[in-house]
């Protein structure tokens, strides 16, 4: 299976976000505040040669305790391809691209509790007690410096 990792337009990622992160809700629920801000960055993993989107992650420019930072949002991998390293490779690609493009290294996110071990393996740290995101479920606040 060939994959291409690249910057993407948010519209290329919405179908995957919807299926994985907001199943059963309207497609509009997969659109996030900040998606269309000029400082937001979207990245995807795409099958070669079909171009099908199989992984996605977005970063919005949001400060962390007044320091310049990016908030990770909307990370997903197509379920039938999960646990094959796509998310790991995509997140690594996106983190490097963000630093190269913006010089900002500080990243944070509200991670689903079940996704926290993945982020920890990628060097992120849990910095909160669990909290509930209404309609989505329990999360941790996580940070990568």
Report how far residue 51's alpha carbon sits from residue 20's, in angstroms, rounded to the nearest whole number. Answer: 18
Query: Strand, coil or helix: what is 40?
Result: coil
Is 144:96 a contact under the CB 8 Å cutoff? Answer: no
Report how far residue 5's alpha carbon sits from residue 31's, in angstroms, rounded to the nearest whole number. Answer: 21
- Residue 13, pLDDT score: 97
Residue ranges covered by each domain of the chain: 2-105
For tokens 């992160």, the residue is: 21
Give the residue among 94, 44, 45 at the shortest CA–CA distance from 71: 94
- Residue 135, pLDDT score: 80
- Residue 34, pLDDT score: 96
Angle at 21 between CA 1 and CA 37, to 5 degrees: 95
Low-confidence ranges of the chain (pLDDT < 70): none
- Residue 136, pLDDT score: 84
- Residue 56, pLDDT score: 98
Strands 107-112 and 70-77: parallel
pLDDT in tens, 63-104: 999 999 999 999 999 999 999 999 999 999 999 999 999 999
Burial 49-58 (b: 16+ CB within 10 A, else e): eeeebbbbbb
**What predicted TM-score, i.e. pTM, was given to this entire model?**
0.94
CATH for the stretch 2-105: 3.40.630.30
């Amino acid at each position: 299976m060939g994959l291409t990792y690249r910057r993407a337009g948010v519209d290329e990622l919405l179908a995957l976000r919807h299926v994985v992160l907001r199943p059963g809700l309207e497609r509009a629920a997969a659109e996030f505040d900040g998606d269309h801000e000029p400082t937001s960055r979207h990245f995807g993993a795409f099958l070669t040669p079909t171009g099908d989107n199989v992984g996605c992650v977005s970063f919005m420019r949001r400060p962390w305790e007044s320091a310049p930072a990016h908030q990770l949002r909307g990370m997903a991998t197509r379920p039938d391809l999960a646990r094959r390293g796509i998310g790991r490779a995509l997140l690594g690609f996106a983190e490097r691209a963000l630093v190269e493009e913006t010089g900002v290294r500080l990243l944070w996110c509200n991670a689903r509790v079940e996704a926290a071990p993945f982020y920890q393996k990628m060097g992120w740290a849990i910095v909160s007690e669990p909290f509930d995101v209404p309609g989505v479920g329990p999360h941790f606040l996580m940070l990568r410096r």
